[in-house]
Structure 1
Amino acid sequence: MERSEYNATVTGKIMVTPDLMILRVDTDEPRKEFEAGQNMLLGLYGFEKRSSNSEPEVVPADAEKLIKRPYSIASAKTETSQLEFYISQVKSGQLTSRLFNLNTGDRVFVGTAITGIFRLDETPDGSDIVMVATGTGIAPYISFLRSHIIERPESKMVVIQGAAHRWDLGYYSELTFLEKSFANFFYVPTLTDADERWDGHRMWIEELLKQDILQNEYNISPDPDRTHFFVSGKPDMVAHVSEWLVGYGYRRHHPDDPGELYIEEF
C-alpha cells in the first residue's frame, strides 16, 4: 500500500522492556536545530502491522490514515538527522503498538515542525536544575544533558528518576556514567518495588523530596530564586510534586509568564 509520506528510516531499536524502547531514526532531509526538551511527530499508517504483544485497539485504526503523535526528542539538539526517541507501548493504542513492530530498515514518518516549551535554555545561567521523571518522562532530560551539561559547569544538575523495578529505569547506564564524569551532575534513582540486590532509594519520588534528601545529600534547596524544577511523567506524580513545590513559592513557567516550575505530562 502507499507509503508516500514516510520520510525517515529506522536505524536502531533497543528494547528496554517488552513495553519500553529506544527508537532511532535517520530522516531523509535534516530538520532544523531544535532546543533540548522539545518534541516532534512520529507517524505510521493504519495498515501497518501491530506488535506481537499488543492488545485489541480501543478504536480500530483507519488503514488509509497516517496516525501521528508527538514524542519528546532524546537526542542532542545538534543532531538534526539522526534522532532518538524513548517510547512506551500503549498496548490497545493505535500508534505505539505499530511503532513497536518496526525493525531496522523500516520506513516511518517524522514531522518537520519541532515544538514545545519544556526547555532548559529558558532557565537563568547559574541556577541549579532538578529534573524529576517517571517513565518516558526521562527523554527530554537526556536531550538536556547531551546538549548542555558541558556548557553549565556552574549549575548543579540532578535527575530524580522513579520506577517500580530496576529494569524500568531507562538510560540508567548513561546517567550513571554522567554522574561519574561530571562533578556537578547527580543521578538519584528510586524504586517502589525493588528486589534485594537494589541498594538505592526505595520510595516514591514525592516521599524522597519530602525527606529533604536534595538538601541533606546535595545541598540543593527548593528555593525559586536558586533552583529551577522540571517535572515530567505520569500525571499523578506531576500533580503531587507540583503541589509540593507551590508550597515553596514556585510558579509554573510559560514563555510569556516566566516561572521556576516546568511541567510536562506523559
Structure 2
Amino acid sequence: MQIINQCQSKENQERMDRTQYNATVVGKIMVTPDLMIFRIHTDEAREEFEAGQNLLLGLYGFEKRSSNSEPELVPAEGEKLIRRPYSLASEKTETRQLEFYISQVKSGQLTSRLFNLNVGERLYVGTKITGIFRLDETPDGSDIVMVATGTGIAPYISFLRSHIVERPESKMVVIQGAAHRWDLGYYSELTFLEKSFANFFYVPTLTDADDRWDGYRYCIEELLRKDVLQNEFNISPDPERTHFFVSGQPEMVGHVSEWLSDFGYTRHHPDDPGELYIEEF
C-alpha cells in the first residue's frame, strides 16, 4: 500500500508540474535525425520582438528523452524545470506561432526531451524575449553579411522574414556552411528568396559534398579568404560599408572574427557599437 501511495504521489506531482506548461507543439519537421524545425503555439501572445532575439524553452526532468539520445552527462532532476534559450526563426510580428531550429545534443538534458515531443504535446515557453543579436541596430543602407553553421542559421531566417522587404537598398548575403547537403536547414526557403529579391544572395558551402553538388566546397573561413564576397557580389569587408553577423560553432566564429579584425572590425555591443555581431551555439 505504501508503494502504491508513493507512485500516486509522484504521478500527482508530475501532473501538477505540467500545469505550468504554457505552449503546445504545432509542428515538427525533422531535417535530419538530429536537426528539427520546431513550431509552437503559446497560450498567450508574447510582445513583438526584434529579429535575432531568443526565448526560453523548457521541460521537466521527468519527461522522456528521444529514442536516439545517449545517457545524460549530468542526470536531470525529475522535479526540475530545465530551461535553455533558443533563437527565434519567426518573423518578428509573430507573437504566438513561434518557430525554432534545434539541434539535438544527444547526451544533454533538454534537447533530447524536446526531440521526443510530438504535435499536440505541451512545454514551457518563457515570457520575456531577449538578446542583442539584432539586425535593427545596423545602419540603413549598409550591406549585411550573415555567416552561419548549424542552427546558427535560425536568427537569419528571422532577419530575412522580418526585414528583407524593408531594406532594398542593402545587399544581404547568407553564407551557410555544413558538411552535407542535407545539413543545410532552410535551403529551399533561402534559395527561393535569392530568386525573389535582387539584393539577396545565398552562398551555401559544403566540406563533404557528393558528386551531385555543384556549389562551393570550402569551409567558411577558406571561402572568405578566397575573396568570394568581393569577386562574386562586389561586397567588401569594410566596417564603413558592411556589417557582419557570425553565428554558430565557436571555432568557426573565432576564425571569422579573427579574419575580420584584420580589416578593422570590432565586436558590437549596444553600449559600444561595432560592426561585428557574434552569437555562439
Q: Same fold (TM over 0.5)?
A: yes
Q: Which residue among 135, 156, 165 is the counterpart of 1:150?
A: 165
Q: How does 1:103-122 map to 2 (within 5 A)?
A: 103-122=118-137
Partner Cα separation in structure 1 for residue 95 and residue 20 of structure 2: 19
Corresponding residue of 2:7:
none
Q: Distance in 2 between matches of 1:116 and 1:217?
A: 32
Q: Tell me whether 1:195 sits opposite 2:210 in the alignment.
A: yes
Task: Give the one of 88, 110, 128 matched to 2:143.
Answer: 128
Describe the superposition over 1:125-180 as per-residue Cα deviations: whole angstroms up to 9, x where unpaired.
00000000000000000000000000000000000000000000000000000000
Unaligned runs of 5+ in 1: none
Candidates 28, 36, 42, aligned match of 1:13: 28
Corresponding residue SS for 1:151 = coil
Q: CA deviation at 1:181?
A: 0.2
Question: Pairwise mapping of residues 162-241 of structure 1 onto structure 2 (< 5 A)?
Answer: 162-241=177-256
Question: After the TM superposition, which segments of 4 or more aligned residues of structure 1 sit over 3 Å from their partners?
Answer: none
Aligned match of 2:115 in 100, 107, 125?
100
TM-score (norm 2): 0.94
Distance 1:33 1:251 in 2: 29
Within 5 Å, give how 1:30-45 maps onto structure 2: 30-45=45-60
Identity fraction in percent? 85
Q: Secondary structure at the match of 1:141?
A: helix
Q: Deviation per CA, 1:101-127, whole angstroms, max 9, x where unpaired? A: 000000010000110000000000000
How far 1:210 moved relative to its partner? 0.3
Give the alignment partner of residue 77 of structure 2, picking from 62, 66, 85: 62
Q: Is 1:254 matched with 2:269?
A: yes
- What letter corresponds to residue 164 of structure 1 in structure 2? A
Q: Which amino acid aligns with 2:224?
A: L
Bigger Cα Rg: 2
Question: What is the Cα-based RMSD across aligned positions, in Å?
Answer: 0.3
| Aligned counterparts of 2:77 and 2:56: Cα–Cα separation in 1 | 18
Match of 1:50 among 65, 68, 87: 65
Structure 1 letter corresponding to 2:235: I
Q: Distance between the aligned counterparts of 1:126 and 1:137, measured in 2? A: 24
Q: CA deviation at 1:263?
A: 0.2
Structure 2 unaligned residues grouped into runs of 5+: 1-13
SS at match of 1:150: coil
Give me the whole-angstrom Cα distance separating, in 2, the residues matched to 1:23 and 1:211: 35
Q: When the two structures are superposed, what TM-score results if normalisation uses the length of structure 1? A: 1.00
The AA in structure 2 aligned to 1:33 is E
Q: What do the CA deviations read for 1:14-36 (whole angstroms, capped 9, x no partner)?
A: 00000000000000000000000
1-structure distance, mates of 2:160, 2:278: 17
Per-residue deviation, 1:205 = 0.2
Q: Alpha-carbon deviation of 1:4?
A: 1.7
SS in 2 for 1:162: strand
Q: Give 1:5 shift.
A: 1.3
**Number of residue pairs aligned between Structure 1 and Structure 2:** 266
Distance 1:182 1:203 in 2: 25
The CA deviation at 1:229 is 0.1
The one-letter amino acid paired with 1:241 is: V
